[in-house]
Amino acid sequence: MQKSMAIFTRIRSRSLLQLRNYSSSPSSILSPDSKTILTSKQKTRAALYLLKSEKNPEKIIDICRAASITPETHLDRACFSLAVNKLSGLNYFEGIRVFIEELKKRPDLQNERFFSHAIVLYGQAGMLQNAIDTFEQMEQLGVHRTVKSLNSLLLSCIIAKKCNEVKRIFTEFPKTYNIQPNIITYNTVIKAFTEVGESNSSYSIVAEMGRNNCKPNATTFCHMITGFYKEQKTEDVGKVLELMKEHGMKPGLSMYNTRIQSLCKLGRSFEAKALLDGLLERRINPNSNTYTNLIHGFCREGKLEDAKQLYKGMNNHGVKPDTECYFTLIHFLCQGGDYETALQIAKECMEKNWVPNFTTMKSLVEGLVSISKVEEAKELVALIKEKFPKHSDMWKDTEEKLSQPAD
């Protein structure tokens, strides 16, 4: 215990010293070759760029300190999240704790918005007890606690994969801290039940919502549907749809997408396709998620022709493929040996400056060579290098093989 405390004190002292040193000249870390004073957004962008490749845990924290990030913008939240993910992957949990506890003392972060974000970050790192401690300490640190921070704590439990803690916190904390749950609270609890295979308990939550004059919404029923499909309780899916009617709600696109994704995960893509047909008959416009889930489902089942037909049908309904749709289809087409179609789709994808990962593209290049499309393979490698010149070295061995004369 004494040894642990000594280590903690040493890390904390070094952290505070570094904070003092870097706060005066953050540009020296974020942009060492420039004397220009960076704006807040420029600092965060520079930090994100550096964090992606940094592997030294202390330097990761130094970069975040230098950027003076807050949870006020999406960009800053992305920066926080990336840093915590990398530090967790490096098992540098003590550093995460020192850094977040340090941030709590910043005058500009003495608000519920930051503390709620800190709670989620602790959950992201799997440090749930620290998340709970942060919630419980808020009032004594001068930060007012509301349902917002309660919801963050419940979400933190799910992110930390401690869904059973959701039950305890939901049962005890609203009474202990005099907080009235809202729709987000109830939906988070329902999601937790579905995560641990206890979707039947969601009915009691909906009943409690009614007693507290909190009307369920589409998210409520989507969580329930997802859980019952996951547990393969098809009868309950029908019950939830009837429950929606009782609450005066009709299935919209989000519900259709939830059902389609769930059926595809169960290997029932043809049933999911029937839902798409029903959606179109009701003149509800599908979106990229609708098609991406279906295409992924058919690909996983080895039904590549059906996946290709869906891809072609997207344009007829004015839906543009997203990156996941492109990458999924190219990957599975390569696995299925349809390299010519994969090449065509890869070119369409790259016109939008989206390029699948190196493994997929190498598989496509090698596949083209295997069907005597060597020139096409060379052109593809040249195009990839043009798009990503920094990664040109990765293709050196492949290019050498392509330049060798055929046997």
Domain boundaries, the chain: 251-321, 333-407
Quote the pLDDT of residue 385.
Answer: 87
Q: What is the pLDDT of residues 55-68, one digit of tens each?
A: 999 999 999 888 88
Give Cα separations from 377 to 5, 7, 93, 336, 372 (angstroms).
59, 55, 45, 18, 9
Quote the pLDDT of residue 26.
Answer: 47
- List of residues 6+ apart from 383 with CB closer than 8 A: 347, 350
Instruction: Look up the CATH architecture of domain 251-321.
Output: Alpha Horseshoe (1.25)
Q: What is the pLDDT of residues 99-125, one digit of tens each?
A: 999 999 888 899 999 999 999 999 999
Most confident range, picked from 16-20, 60-64, 135-139: 135-139
Q: Is the pLDDT confidence value at 9 over 50?
A: no
Quote the pLDDT of residue 7.
Answer: 40
Quote the pLDDT of residue 39.
Answer: 84
Quote the pLDDT of residue 392.
Answer: 80
Quote the pLDDT of residue 234.
Answer: 93
* Helix %, strand %, coil % of the chain (to 5): 75, 0, 25
Question: Phi-psi bin for 91: left (phi > 0), alpha (psi -120 to 50), beta?
Answer: left
Question: Which value, in Å, is the radius of gyration of the alpha carbons in the chain?
Answer: 26
Q: CA dihedral defined by 166, 171, 174, 177, rounded to 10 degrees?
A: -100
**Is 290 strand, coil or helix?**
helix
Quote the pLDDT of residue 258.
Answer: 97
Least confident segment among 20-29, 41-50, 156-165: 20-29
> What integer best gives the mean pLDDT of the chain?
89
- Sole residue written with tokens 């215990």: 1
